[in-house]
Amino acid sequence: MIKAVRGTRDLLPPDTELWNFVERKVREVFARYNYHEIRTPVFESTELFARGVGEETDIVSKEMFTWEDGERFSKAKLREAWLRENKDRVFIDEMDQVLVAGFAPIDLAVYPTDGSRVDRPLIELISLRPQATEADVSALIDASKRLVTERGGMLALKAPLLRIVTPAGARSVNSTEVEITQLAGHFFESVQPLTLRPENTAGVVRAYIEHEMGRSGLLQKLYYIGPQFRRERPQKGRYRQFYQIGAEVIGPPSAGSELPIRDAEVLDMLIALLHAVGLTGWTLYLNSVGCVHCRPAYNQALREALAGVKDQMCGDCQRRAETNPLRVLDCKVPADQPIIEKLPKIADYLDEGCREHFAQVRAMLDTLEVPYQVNERMVRGLDYYTRTTFEFTHGELGSQSAVLGGGRYDGLSEQIGGPKAPGIGFAIGEDRLVLALQAQQQQALAPLKAFIIPLGTGMNRHALKLARQLRAERVTVDVSDEGFRLKKSFETAEKLGATFAILVGGNEVEADAFAVKRLKSGEQTTVSRAELLEYLEG
């Protein structure tokens, strides 16, 4: 049996209902904050993540699904190989290459190396192709005819041989008019390294730059919902394909993209969303990781503090202590934790601007009565963060307790070659949000209210009509089939967790009143069509 790959999973009904419920709420709530959806590709050039997320992060250094994109036929390599192989027999005159250049698919015109100039007419017109199809053959014949007509006077032409050269093993037709030569060797070049996106902020900022979204001078408030990919060790709440719901506010500084109100508004929106989906029991951790001006002093302090202790730390930390000391704080190795606890704290190194920014964000959160805890160790595992960073955790999630994380990234756009465009955003782990909701046993979904059971031939259509009427009133119902025995229909109704069973038989249709059974108590009443909705909701 072929199974889903380790770390990936199928999302099946009824779980998908909860996913859809969450996504519906996301769209509702985000729209109220004036966010609009953006969809970026699931793969991007590897360089985007290396430069954006950071080479030293776990994500980039260990967890990306990266590949060299296919291979492209390289005409240059094939040309070089063919000339090398035939150098004793033929040579090319660069002047004449110019004369044949407009006659695609002719790539080369070659002369014999022996004989005088007069006796040295062109001997071959060559087309370098990844394969030799009928179309390639006739294109070469056509081109050679045009060449003779248009350039015959300028070229020393004397019925040259037509040749198509392809890599060995390429598809090839037989031809009497064109000679087909296959060369052994590697005539392909890799196009570019690509990576399945491990996160979506870098992609959104890339799109912002590419489409010059800052030109309006307004803030861009963008959100996305989609899969992300990281080669992590799979466990509950940690997958290799997982889903993130994220949002980004980004724009030129003149639009106010750097201001603390944006940070507070983003957090306020998150809380509104968590409230809308019914998640309770979360904790918000907040920190400021400084900016390009104050970070160097902190990095230096970390380096100095690490110099004496790094030998006792894990291999990754020993390397990071040199290359990117901030990333030491992400380390999860238990033995390293007591050492990390004693390292200098970022709060003591924030410059005036960062300190003031953070104070203002906190003051606004206080006014909005948002509960949070400052966690000075929380630097989050991506290099692009500046100033405010945050994370929401949920107790029901066990070791993978982070439901969402985010922060400011004031330098990211410039880092990947764009204009100055400060921003702040977050990503919710949708898998974990759904797990937390399930764990909380919050029945966020409308449960099945009624199972409609058609009784006897010709009753299906009446049952469907009743179902349509109730569904139009936003009642969740499902329908059995007139061919099923009543016992089977009742069993199905119970399995589906329906509150009521509604019988639709000939008598009911005639009286326009239905036998309604409350499945838990077994109590049964006849209710008219007009009173049905009120009865079910009552």
Residue 505 Cβ, how far from ligand AMP at the closest point, in Å?
50
Residue 232 Cβ, how far from ligand AMP at the closest point, in Å?
5
Considering only residues 393-412, where is the footprint of ligand AMP by CB under 6 A? 402-405
* Per-residue contact string for residues 428-467; x = within reach of ligand AMP by CB under 6 A: -x-xx-----------------------------------
Residue from 124, 136, 199, 336 binding ligand AMP (CB under 6 A): 199
Residue 229 Cβ, how far from ligand AMP at the closest point, in Å?
9
232 lies in the binding site for ligand AMP (CB under 6 A): yes
Residue 389 Cβ, how far from ligand AMP at the closest point, in Å?
9
Alpha-carbon gap, residue 294 to 6, rounded angstroms: 42
Alpha-carbon gap, residue 507 to 277, rounded angstroms: 43
Reported as half-sphere exposure (CB side, CA atoms, 13 A), residue 195 has a value of 25
Alpha-carbon gap, residue 274 to 135, rounded angstroms: 61
Tokens of 402: 């982070």
Residue 254 Cβ, how far from ligand AMP at the closest point, in Å?
28
The beta-strand segments (E) located in 270-334 are 282-288
239 lies in the binding site for ligand AMP (CB under 6 A): yes
376 lies in the binding site for ligand AMP (CB under 6 A): no
Strands 122-128 and 157-167, bridge-based pairing: parallel
**Looking at beta carbons only, is 8 or 175 nearer to ligand AMP?**
8
244 lies in the binding site for ligand AMP (CB under 6 A): yes
Alpha-carbon gap, residue 194 to 415, rounded angstroms: 19
Number of residues binding to ligand AMP, judged by CB under 6 A: 18
H-only helix segments in 350-485: 352-367, 412-415, 430-439, 460-472
Tokens of 525: 């009443």
Residue from 213, 427, 502, 527 binding ligand AMP (CB under 6 A): 427
Q: Which residue is nearest to ligand AMP (CB)?
A: 429
52 lies in the binding site for ligand AMP (CB under 6 A): no
**Looking at beta carbons only, is 81 or 249 nearer to ligand AMP?**
249
b/e per residue 7-33 (b: at least 16 CB within 10 A): beeeeeeeeeebbebbeebbeebbeeb
Tokens of 101: 């250049």
287 lies in the binding site for ligand AMP (CB under 6 A): no
Residue 325 vs residues 64, 313, 332, 528: alpha-carbon distances, Å? 22, 13, 15, 73
180 lies in the binding site for ligand AMP (CB under 6 A): no
Q: Which residues bind ligand AMP (CB under 6 A)?
A: 199, 230, 232, 237-239, 242, 244, 380-381, 402-405, 427, 429, 431-432
